[in-house]
Structure formats: structure tokens, C-alpha cells
């Protein structure tokens, strides 16, 4: 199978200081992957490079077998930014946030040239319903719960019927219940054929919900199924500390070595 999106030998940094060097990565149609690494490891920068929001120092981005020009966003790609980058006090409703997805870096999607605002509203309502928050359409975005806000931005990312959605730390400030619900929603979208890559530093959520994981810290450490990739060696290379991995059948739980020594983890909790 040919990759839908391919990163070839990408190097990037700021003020002559490299963030990552020689990164190679392939995403395949229908893949549901977690980009895992500590804060400051370059995960967000890699996503921004894939999106064409920053220009790599060297290397190439390929989409559907075609090389993209530097700084050009791949077609049919949706994006959910970090919640910390959003101004939640901006006076817009959830419906209006989704309608903003009709614009991609100042350009309208082909179906929107008619200028039919009512059509945009209908599409936005359908997407809110698809992600389970149609009831918040007319509410200010700042008045929504964290889980509702994330679902609204996922709906916005689905405008234009993307083949891939990239999410930057979508569960970073969410409680466990919201994380669980969002990951199940993403799994449902993936089952409908959407290719998904999300960045996170939450190891146990990835181990529980995602079929594929990419360990990243200023470069690619390892990738594969969580049960194969989450080893003490790979985790130390990724996070810089000693970790232990508890496994029972096909389920795993990860903890720091210091914590596990102080608090015995019961097998029946796995």
C-alpha cells in the first residue's frame, strides 16, 4: 500500500537551532496513529511542517505520490490546534466556528464559490451532529465544556471532507472522561475511513485506544503497535526517564520506575 502522506528527510529549527533532523515518516490510508513525546520534543513543529505552516530547512513532504511545494498545505487535510492557542473569549458561536472551516488559509473550498451562506450553515450543522454536539450550535464557544469545544473543532476540521486529520494535543487539558469520549469519537471517524494523526504525551491513553504509535523526541525513536513499541528502552529514549511497562494479555499500563517502586500496581487493575 502506498502512503497517503510521506515526510522525507525533514530538518527544521529556529534561529539556527535544529528542532529535529532527518525525519522520515509515512502515514497510510485508514491509519490511526499517536505521535508521542514530551513537551518541547518537536511534535507540534512537525505537524506544522506537514501542514505547510512552517518551511523545513531541508527535506520534502509528499501527498498521494506528489511532492508539495515548501510552505504549501496538503490538500484534503484537516487540523485541530492545541486548545491553548484558541481565544475562547472570541464572540462566535459553535456553528460559526465550524463555518470558519469553509476557509482554508484565505481560500474557499471549491464547493463554496456559490457564496450560499445557508448552505454553509447546513453543512456546519450536519458536522456538529456528526460529532455529537448539534445541541450547542448557537452557544458561544467560550461557554462550552472542554469536551464540547474539542468536538466543535473536530467538526471544523471535517469541513471539506478531508482524507487526513491532524490533531495537536487534543486531550492535553481534558479530564479522563473527556479523553475517553474524544478518543472513542476519533475511533468512530477512523472506522469511517478517516486517516488520523494526533500528538500527545499521554502514554496510557495511547496504549489503550490507538492501534499505532510513533515515539518522537527531536526525531523518530520507534513506531509500531503500542504493545511492541512501549518498551522501557524506547520510553527512556523518548522521555528521558526510567519507566516500567505492566502487561496483561493485550493491555498495558506505563508508570515511572520511581512511582512503581513506591506503589505496587495490582494486576487486576490492568
Domain boundaries, the chain: 1-76+163-240, 80-162
The values of phi and psi at residue 92, to 5°, are: -135, 155
Confirm whether 1-76+163-240 and 80-162 share one CATH topology. Answer: yes
Higher-confidence residue of 68 and 117: namely 68
pLDDT tier, 269 (very low <50, low <70, confident <90, very high otherwise): very low
Cell of 44: 507540534
CB within 8 Å of 247: residues ≥ 6 apart:
227, 253, 270
pTM of the model: 0.88
Query: Which residue, chain included where needed, has cell 527531536?
Result: 218
Cell of 13: 529549527
pLDDT at 113: 45
CB within 8 Å of 80: residues ≥ 6 apart:
150, 153, 154, 156, 157, 165, 166, 167, 168, 170
Torsion, Cα 195 219 224 69, to 10 degrees, reads 30
Mean pLDDT of 201-226: 91
Mean pLDDT of 164-176: 84
1-76+163-240 is classed CATH 3.30.420.10 = no
pLDDT at 111: 46
Query: Which residue, chain included where needed, has cell 523526541?
Result: 217
Mean pLDDT of 192-207: 90
| Residue pLDDT, tens place only, 107-166 | 545 444 455 678 888 889 999 999 999 999 999 999 999 899 999 999 999 998 999 999
Cell of 69: 511545494
* 80-162, CATH topology level: Rossmann fold (3.40.50)
Q: Please report, in angstroms and rounded to a whole number, the separation of the first and last CA atoms in the chain.
A: 35
Amino acid at each position: 500500500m502506498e502512503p497517503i502522506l510521506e515526510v522525507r528527510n525533514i530538518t527544521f529549527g529556529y534561529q539556527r537551532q535544529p528542532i529535529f533532523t532527518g525525519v522520515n515518516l509515512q502515514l497510510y490510508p485508514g491509519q490511526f496513529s499517536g505521535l508521542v513525546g514530551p513537551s518541547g520534543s518537536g511534535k507540534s513543529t512537525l505537524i506544522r511542517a506537514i501542514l505547510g505552516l512552517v518551511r523545513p530547512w531541508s527535506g520534502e513532504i509528499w501527498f498521494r505520490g506528489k511532492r508539495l511545494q515548501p510552505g504549501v498545505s496538503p490538500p484534503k487535510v484537516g487540523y485541530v490546534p492545541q486548545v491553548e492557542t484558541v481565544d475562547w473569549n472570541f464572540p462566535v458561536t459553535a456553528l460559526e466556528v465550524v463555518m470558519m472551516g469553509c476557509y482554508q488559509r484565505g481560500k474557499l473550498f471549491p464547493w463554496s464559490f456559490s457564496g450560499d451562506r445557508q448552505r454553509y450553515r447546513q453543512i456546519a450543522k450536519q458536522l456538529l451532529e456528526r460529532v455529537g454536539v448539534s445541541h450547542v450550535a448557537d452557544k458561544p464557544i467560550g461557554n462550552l465544556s472542554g469536551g464540547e469545544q474539542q468536538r466543535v473543532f473536530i467538526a471544523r476540521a471535517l469541513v471539506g471532507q478531508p482524507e487526513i486529520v491532524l490533531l495537536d494535543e487534543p486531550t492535553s487539558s481534558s479530564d479522563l472522561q473527556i479523553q475517553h469520549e474524544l478518543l472513542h469519537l476519533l475511533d468512530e471517524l477512523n472506522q469511517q475511513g478517516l486517516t488520523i494523526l494526533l500528538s500527545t504525551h499521554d502514554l496510557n491513553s495511547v496504549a489503550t485506544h490507538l492501534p499505532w504509535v510513533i515515539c518522537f523526541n527531536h526525531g523518530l525513536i520507534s513506531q509500531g503497535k503500542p504493545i511492541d513499541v512501549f518498551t522501557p528502552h524506547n520510553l527512556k529514549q523518548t522521555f528521558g526517564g526510567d519507566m516500567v511497562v505492566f502487561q496483561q494479555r493485550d493491555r498495558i499500563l506505563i508508570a515511572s520506575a520511581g512511582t512503581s517502586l513506591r506503589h505496587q500496581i495490582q494486576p487486576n487493575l490492568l
